[in-house]
Structure 1
Amino acid sequence: MLEQVTKVHDESRQGEAYAPVAGESQTYTKKFYIESYGCQMNFNDSEIVASILKEEGFGPTRNVEEASLVLLNTCSIREKAETTVRKRLTEFRKIKQRNPELLVGVLGCMAERLKAKLLEEEKLVDMVVGPDAYRTLPALIEEAETGQKAVNVLLSREETYGDISPVRLDSNGVTAFVSIMRGCNNMCSFCVVPFTRGRERSRDKASILQEATDMFNRGYREVTLLGQNVDSYYWVSPDNDNDITTFANLLEAVALISPLLRVRFSTSHPKDITDDVLYTMAKYENICKYIHLPMQSGSTRILQLMNRTYTREWYIKKVDRIREILPGCALSTDVITGFCTETEEDHQDTMTLMDYGQYDLAYMFFYSERPGTLAARRYQDDVPEEVKKRRLSEIVDLHRAQSLKSMQQDVGKTFKVLIEGVSKRSEDQLFGRTDHNKVVVFPKEDFRKGEYIWVKVEDCTAGTLLGTSTGRA
Structure 2
Amino acid sequence: MIDLQLTDKTHDEARQGEALVIEPPRSRNGRKLYIESYGCQMNFADSEIVASILFDQGFETTGDYQEADVVFINTCSIRENAEQRVRNRLSQFGAVKRRNPKLIVGVLGCMAERLKSKFLEEEKLVDVVVGPDAYRDLPQLIGQVEEGQKAINVLLSREETYADISPVRLNGNGITAFISIMRGCDNMCSFCVVPFTRGRERSRDPESVVAEARELVSQGYKEVTLLGQNVDSYKWNGIVNFAQLLEMVALVSPDLRVRFSTSHPKDITDEVLYTIARHDNICNYIHLPVQSGNTRILELMNRTYTREWYMNRIDAIRTIIPDCAISTDIIAGFCTETEEEHQDTLSMMDYVRYDYGFMFCYSERPGTLAARKLTDDVPEEVKKRRLSEILVKQQESSLFRLQQFVGKTVRVLVEGPSKKSEKDLCGRNDQNAMVVFPATDGIEAGQYVYVQVDRCTSATLLGTALI
TM range (shorter): over 0.9
Match of 2:339 among 344, 347, 352: 344
Matched, 1:384 2:379: yes
Q: Which residue of 2 aligns with 1:50?
A: 51
- Alignment CA distance shift 1:33-1:331 (3 Å): same
TM-score (norm 1): 0.95
CA distance in 2, matches of 1:53, 1:408: 46
Match of 1:396 among 379, 382, 391: 391
| 8 Å CA contact retained: 1:255, 1:262 | yes
**Which runs of structure 2 are paired with 1:412-431 in the superposition (5 Å)?**
412-431=407-426
Deviation at 1:10, TM superposition (A): 7.2
CA distance in 1, matches of 2:392, 2:289: 18
- Report SS of the residue matched to 1:44: helix
Matched, 1:464 2:460: yes
- Report SS of the residue matched to 2:358: strand
CA distance in 1, matches of 2:328, 2:66: 40
- Report SS of the residue matched to 1:383: coil
| 8 Å CA contact retained: 1:5, 1:366 | no
CA distance in 1, matches of 2:64, 2:460: 32
User: Which amino acid in structure 2 is aligned with residue 319 of structure 1?
Assistant: I
Matched, 1:369 2:369: no
> C-alpha deviations, 1:263-312, integer Å up to 9, x for none?
00000001111111011001000000100010000000000000000000
- Report SS of the residue matched to 1:362: strand
CA distance in 1, matches of 2:37, 2:360: 20
CA distance in 2, matches of 1:18, 1:50: 14
TM-score (norm 2): 0.96
Q: Which residue of 2 aligns with 1:303?
A: 298
| 8 Å CA contact retained: 1:31, 1:58 | yes
| 8 Å CA contact retained: 1:419, 1:450 | yes
**Which runs of structure 2 are paired with 1:399-410 in the superposition (5 Å)?**
399-410=394-405
| 8 Å CA contact retained: 2:250, 2:279 | yes
Match of 1:355 among 341, 350, 356: 350
CA distance in 1, matches of 2:372, 2:48: 35
How many corresponding residue pairs?
459
CA distance in 1, matches of 2:185, 2:211: 24
Over the matched positions of the two proteins, sequence identity in percent amounts to: 66
Q: Which residue of 2 aligns with 1:117?
A: 118
Deviation at 1:12, TM superposition (A): 4.5
Deviation at 1:6, TM superposition (A): 10
- Alignment CA distance shift 1:99-1:196 (3 Å): same
> C-alpha deviations, 1:306-350, integer Å up to 9, x for none?
000000011111100111111121100000010000000000000
Larger RCO (alpha carbons 8 Å, 6+ apart):
1
Q: Which residue of 1 aligns with 2:5?
A: none
CA distance in 2, matches of 1:257, 1:112: 36
Q: Which residue of 1 aligns with 2:267?
A: 272
Deviation at 1:123, TM superposition (A): 1.5
Deviation at 1:17, TM superposition (A): 6.9
Structure 2, unaligned runs of 5 or more: 1-7
User: Which amino acid in structure 2 is aligned with residue 19 of structure 1?
Assistant: I
| 8 Å CA contact retained: 2:185, 2:229 | yes
- Report SS of the residue matched to 1:34: strand
Q: Which residue of 2 aligns with 1:251?
A: 246
| 8 Å CA contact retained: 2:294, 2:344 | yes
- Report SS of the residue matched to 2:420: coil
User: Which amino acid in structure 2 is aligned with residue 434 of structure 1?
Assistant: N
CA distance in 2, matches of 1:70, 1:425: 31
Matched, 1:21 2:17: no
- Report SS of the residue matched to 1:369: coil
